[in-house]
Structure 1
Amino acid sequence: MSQRKMLQLSTGAPFLLLLGFGGLVLGEISNDFSQCLDFFYKKTPPKGISAAGYQPICQRYENQYHFASLYHRQHRAPLYSAYLLRIADGKRPRTSWKYEPQLVFSRASSEMTPFPTTVDQNVIESQAVVEDYKNSNYTKGHLSPSLHMKTKEDRKSTFTLTNIVPQRAGSNSGPWNDLENEVLRKFKAYCNGKMYVITGAMPYKSAPRWIKNRVSVPEYMWSAYCCPSYSTSLPESVKPFFPTYAAVGRNDLNSGEEIVPVNVNASASVRGYDVGRMSLETLEGILVERLAMPINLFHEQCQ
């Protein structure tokens, strides 16, 4: 039996090959996030991002939505993932890597699916696959991190390559991991309600960089949160971090220091992968300049 026939039988529905963003779209794939707006503050996704080439994905696993991603088909990587930060139940689960069937065929399953042993060529052409990351000198960098998700199903859902960008190990397990833990601590200590987080990737300003001529490599990682309800007795040192906060992390040792300076006193394993903390407005200014789009991440700046 052919690989395609097996894929068809596994979804239990006829298939229609997607023609690209803006083409015929059926099922859960659509041109907006209408099925998962709860992951955005005031149910409003970031504004100002051109739709060309991007595919909104409501990330669905075990028949539930867990977060949202804006995926770039040609880059085979997300621009950002948006989620509600919650305290995790238990340890990080063991799980397999997954792909998005609806990026392949419009009538395919509406849920992310574990990669089979032999991957269909249509899957390979439509999105990143595990083989792209092998021997690439890049780790699989989560935009919506397992650390910030609550249930076992929530955490497993983050292990889909539509939520992943190529990230250097020195960043992923170093300063960027420190940032994720720092945001979690602030949420636990001071946020009284929901914390909306958007984490993304920033491409190189000049020519794109790729792994295996397939997956776009970001020069920087970035993240911002919105906590509209927070403690009324914040320490003075914490007040600048509410209701919004943002950061940019280096993903290239050779990048200039105009966005994030290098701490020369950092240990050799993480030196050059620094994370710069900043206001939401500063991050948006950087994204506007780098992406050439009038980006606004949170409705009315989370006020």
Structure 2
Amino acid sequence: MSRGEMPPSSKGALLLLLACLGGLALGEVGDFSHCLDFFYKRMPPQGINTEQGRYLAPICQRYKNQYRFASLYHRQHRTPWYSAYIITPPAGKRPASKWMYEPQLAFSKAPQEMSPFPSRKFIDQNLMESQAMLLDYTNSSYTKGHLNPSLHHQETLDRRATFTLTNIVPQQKGSNSGPWAQLEVEVKTRFLTFCDGPMYVITGAIPYLSGDRWIKNRVAVPEYMWSAYCCPSYNASLPESARIHFPTYAAVGRNDPQSGEDIVPVDRDARPSPRGYDVKQMPLEALEAILEQRLGMPVSLFHEQCG
């Protein structure tokens, strides 16, 4: 088996496991106990605990001595399965991107918060094996796709904290700067217009069923992106057109224009180009059904369906 290749037995058991997934609880890597506030009712997504637990690392994403969001990271794929966060009223411009990594994925006794990448000559082999590197994305034809986007945050430090590769998946430019970016803006608008309390968001990725795609045989490329939100307290005078979107709603987006259309159809009349990166919005239950069918496990993203 080549480096980075998943064993065949793990193909169907892939995402969204129990909050505590076994393994060592080392600082901010190992469980979600320090960052449960980023989940509705302090309950991470629920699923079935399988042998995949040994690959998964819950991370409380800590920056400048404060928890900013949570991610479930797959060590072998070197990408997160999902990131969970709370939207805050966005403000200001996108900050300059100073990319960071998670030291405790490489060294158990390392500092407990994300750190800027060292220069190439100081990159340790343990660090390189434990997670994605900036070099993986160089000349790869993929962009760095945020699961937790800086657009959904107000404070500068919260926005900067999203620029860690443990919050990034390889995303086609046509998706990242096209329909998926439009979805992020639409979710932000719903929050600002209709949500009277916190909005909890979980955004993740769906791998290929077979014939996995890789960047440089190191970083797994997802076939689809997905996102769901929970706004338990919303405006009682919602217009009729907005009622379907509360308290929860969800979406799945194509990351491969050559994928089949069983999950997300292609709008062949869409403008502007490029086409094939469509996003399909849907009720939360529809997304959970897709995840269960695609990943081979029942999934509950929000406790009691967001109340």
Deviation string, structure 1 residues 22-75 (Cα, Å, up to 9, x no partner): 544432222x21100000000000000533411000000000001000000000
CA contact (8 A) 1:224 1:246 kept: yes
Deviation at 1:268, TM superposition (A): 5.8
Cα distance in 2 between the residues matched to 1:49 and 1:286: 16
Deviation string, structure 1 residues 145-174 (Cα, Å, up to 9, x no partner): 000012000000000000000000000000
Superposed counterparts of 1:261-280, under 5 Å = 261-267=265-271, 269-280=273-284
Deviation string, structure 1 residues 263-303 (Cα, Å, up to 9, x no partner): 11123633000000101000000001111121100000001
* Corresponding residue for residue 132 of structure 1: 136
Superposed counterparts of 1:13-162, under 5 Å = 22-30=22-30, 32-50=31-49, 51-118=53-120, 119-162=123-166
* Corresponding residue for residue 170 of structure 1: 174
Cα distance in 1 between the residues matched to 2:48 and 2:226: 16
Task: Look up the SS of the partner of 2:241 in the other structure.
Answer: coil
Cα distance in 1 between the residues matched to 2:285 and 2:293: 12
Structure 2 unaligned segments of length 5 or more: list them: 1-20
Call closer, same or farther: CA 1:46–1:87 in 2, change over 3 Å.
Answer: same
Cα distance in 2 between the residues matched to 1:22 and 1:239: 40
Counterpart code for 1:289:
Q
Query: Number of paired residues?
Result: 282
Structure 1 unaligned segments of length 5 or more: list them: 1-20
Please say which of residues 166-175 and 263-272 is displaced more in the overlay: 263-272
Superposed counterparts of 1:218-297, under 5 Å = 218-267=222-271, 269-297=273-301
Task: Look up the SS of the partner of 1:269 in the other structure.
Answer: coil
TM-score (norm 1): 0.91
Cα distance in 2 between the residues matched to 1:132 and 1:78: 15
TM-score (norm 2): 0.90
CA contact (8 A) 1:147 1:155 kept: yes
Counterpart code for 1:98:
M
Cα distance in 1 between the residues matched to 2:195 and 2:264: 27
* Corresponding residue for residue 299 of structure 1: 303
The CA RMSD over aligned residues, in Å, is 1.2
Task: Look up the SS of the partner of 1:185 in the other structure.
Answer: helix
Call closer, same or farther: CA 1:193–1:123 in 2, change over 3 Å.
Answer: same
Deviation at 1:95, TM superposition (A): 3.1
Deviation string, structure 1 residues 170-216 (Cα, Å, up to 9, x no partner): 00000000000000000011000000000000001123211111111
Cα distance in 1 between the residues matched to 2:287 and 2:171: 19
Task: Look up the SS of the partner of 1:273 in the other structure.
Answer: coil
CA contact (8 A) 2:226 2:252 kept: yes
